[in-house]
Chain A
Amino acid sequence: ERGRARYSGGGRAVQPGGASALRNFPSRPPSAAEDGRRLPNTAEQAPRACAVCVAAMAAAQAEAGGARSVMAGAAAMGDAGPVGPATAELGAAGPAADGAECGAGDAVVAEEPPAPPALPGLRLVQQGAEAHVYRGLFLGRAAVAKLRVPKRYRHPALEERLSRRRMAQEARSLLRCRRAGIPAPVVYFVDYVTNSIYLEDIVDSITVQDHIYSVQKSGNDTSGLRKLAEKMGELLARMHDEDIVHGDLTTANLLLRPPLEKLDLVLIDFGLSFISGLPEDKGVDLYVLEKAFISTHPDTEVMFQALLKSYAATSKKSGPVIKKLDEVRLRGRKRSMIG
């Protein structure tokens, strides 16, 4: 609804997506009344349920009646006369505009969620932008189901292709990781129709993110974190040596299997991964992790240094990668251009 208000601001509602006729507004010169008009409009239409419809109403009014009657209808709130025809127009154009607008609005506000799979013990774990993640039992085993969220604003052919490619990349990277002995979930089933993937659920695991939070909160065990960082560096080095670039390295995408002291790490969420031998891609991968680290976990610069050191020690191709990482660090936002 916030988004809707933004779009309808200033009278020229820009409708993203959908070839709705509502897009073609008769051009109205911006007038002083316009800003004032926004508020009375909202108040006037308050009884209507959907805030989306507010914009629809404005649009419908504009279409149906032309500027004059709209302004008349808005300005003359108490007036029976002008309001009559305006509301009549509203009535006619309203439901039609309502439906179309709400439809288009829905596409922007929330994509239609995929139907959850009928797995026993099903629980929605996360509603990401890319996919809905569920946990449940699949063929008798604890599994994670990732159902891609279709993006209706995309052209369907592109959507299908992109969805399929992402899923294929995820499955391929997972297999490649496993073959190389890099801990990652086992793929149980790939559904090419709904572009969803069913993976092993690492039960009773916690994310490295949560682990760091709890360790930092409890105050002790800083040496443990250092060891964790070293293990992470080692794991990432091995992954990059297989030319697998994760694409979304964050502490939330690294799991620790119980018991925690063993520092048994598992990499998850390869949805944005790809195969590449370029030091640039690997450097960016590490940069993404560094940013994620520093932004989510305060005072972890030392930890990340330990990670990089262990990475450099483990990986055979680390030299160019670290070099690229330094280069990438110099790019980006909030960099002073001095020197």
Chain B
Amino acid sequence: MERTHRLELFPERSVTLLLFQHVKNAAALRKKAMEGSIEGALINPAMIVDPFQILVAANRAVHLQKIGKMKTRTLYAEIIFSLSPSNNISDAFKKFGISDSDTAVLIVLVMDGDKNINLADITSQVEGQQVSLDELPQLTDTAKVKKMYKVTPQEEKIGSLLDSVVCRMSTKDVL
């Protein structure tokens, strides 16, 4: 159901994605995330085109954490920030984090080798139905994504939306 991927460049770390639909307690979850009582990044699936997008963001966040150059305060906040094409942290949270009225939630966990995060722990807190990551494309709001990442029409001809998104994410602070 959920999907786990090992980060090749950081062998002890692996990223797990869980997708939930028909979520009723988004507001409560968001509050918990803000307080830090949930060990995970709560993301709005409408802004996600493909799990690869999350992996790229997680890879970047873990890298920055390792070299001590995170812009935010926690790894999970950094993942959400890495998803955003802008350098404004609160804007990133607003657009990519969940809002109180959301009915779908994507939870991202980063496991550190020995530290074992209990998945059941997380899933029990969500009042919703866990679904397979294959459902993600249906939840994506492509128009919103295109607008958010400012994807040009010429760009769409040479690659997928995912390509455009990932390229912007990884070159965000290259200047």
Contacts and interface: CB of A to CB of B under 8 A. Distances in A.
A48 B174 CA distance: 49
Given A141-B52, A168-B174, A182-B158, A175 B167 contact: yes
Interface string A113-125: 0000111100000
Interface of A: 117-120, 136-141, 168, 171-172, 174-175, 178-183, 186-193, 200
Contact of B56 (A119, A136, A179, A189): A189
Contacts of A182: 158
Contacts of A200: 163
**Interface SS of A by simple majority:** mixed
B170 A189 contact: yes
Contacts of A174: 167, 171
Contacts of A139: 5, 7-8, 52, 55-56, 59
Nearest to A197: B170
B158 A183 contact: yes
22 contacts: A118-B8, A137-B8, A138-B8, A138-B9, A139-B7, A139-B8, A140-B5, A140-B52, A140-B55, A174-B167, A178-B159, A179-B155, A180-B154, A180-B155, A181-B152, A181-B154, A181-B157, A183-B158, A186-B167, A187-B167, A187-B171, A190-B170
Contacts of A168: 174-175
B168 interface: yes
Q: Count chain B CB atoms within 10 A of each CB in A139, A183, A200 and give the residue with the most.
A: A139
B24 interface: no
Q: Count chain A CB atoms within 10 A of each CB in B9, B69, B174 and give the residue with the most.
A: B174
A179 B152 contact: yes
**Interface SS of B by simple majority:** helix
Contact of B163 (A140, A172, A186): A186
Given A117-B9, A168-B175, A186 B63 contact: no
Interface in B1-45: 5, 7-9, 11
A120 B8 contact: yes
A118 B152 contact: no
B120 interface: no
Q: Count chain B CB atoms within 10 A of each CB in A119, A137, A141 and give the residue with the most.
A: A141
A141 B5 CA distance: 12
